Amino acid sequence: MPSCCKRAHENMKARAELLAWKRRQLIAESRAHRAELAHQLRPLAYRLESVDTGLRILAKLRRHPGWIAGAAAGVLLLTPRRLSSLFRLGSAGLRSWRSLEPAIRMLLERKD
């Protein structure tokens, strides 16, 4: 093989190795970016789960309008004092659930 062809072959080989190295670097960088993005989106995903739950509840209520009428009748039968105590109880329960839910999730995931 003539020396000019050898040199061209070596240059192409060096270029191919450089491109392979750059590709590995870009893949590693891309993985790091994806992991960082996933970490940053976790709180948003948690909030969107609540939205999904609310939308499922609304869809179920639309299919069962009698539940709305029953709830409205129940509210009308309750006195304001009982109603406010129920709201306080529900609010405290919801706050407790929101503070305990991540720990419960972690325990359930650990069992898997």
Domain that holds residue 90: 78-112
Same domain, 45 and 24: yes
Q: Is residue 105 part of a domain?
A: yes
Q: Is residue 84 part of a domain?
A: yes
Q: Is residue 73 part of a domain?
A: no
Per-residue pLDDT of 53-75, as tens digits, reads 888 988 888 888 888 888 888 87
Rounded to whole angstroms, how far apart are CA atoms 104 and 74? 32
Residue 11: its pLDDT value, please? Answer: 83
Q: Is residue 71 part of a domain?
A: no
> How many residues in the chain?
112
- The tally of CA atoms less than 13 A away on the side-chain side of residue 15 is 6
Same domain, 60 and 88: no
Same domain, 9 and 46: yes
Q: What is the mean pLDDT of the chain?
A: 85
Residue 3: its pLDDT value, please? Answer: 65
Same domain, 10 and 39: yes
Rounded to whole angstroms, how far apart are CA atoms 83 and 77? 10
To the nearest 10°, the Cα dihedral for 29, 31, 32, 33? 90
Please state the pTM of the whole predicted model: 0.40
Q: Domains in the chain: how many in total?
A: 2
Q: At 110, which amino acid appears?
A: R
- Is there a contact between 67 and 61 (Cβ–Cβ < 8 Å)? yes
Same domain, 2 and 55: yes
Same domain, 42 and 18: yes
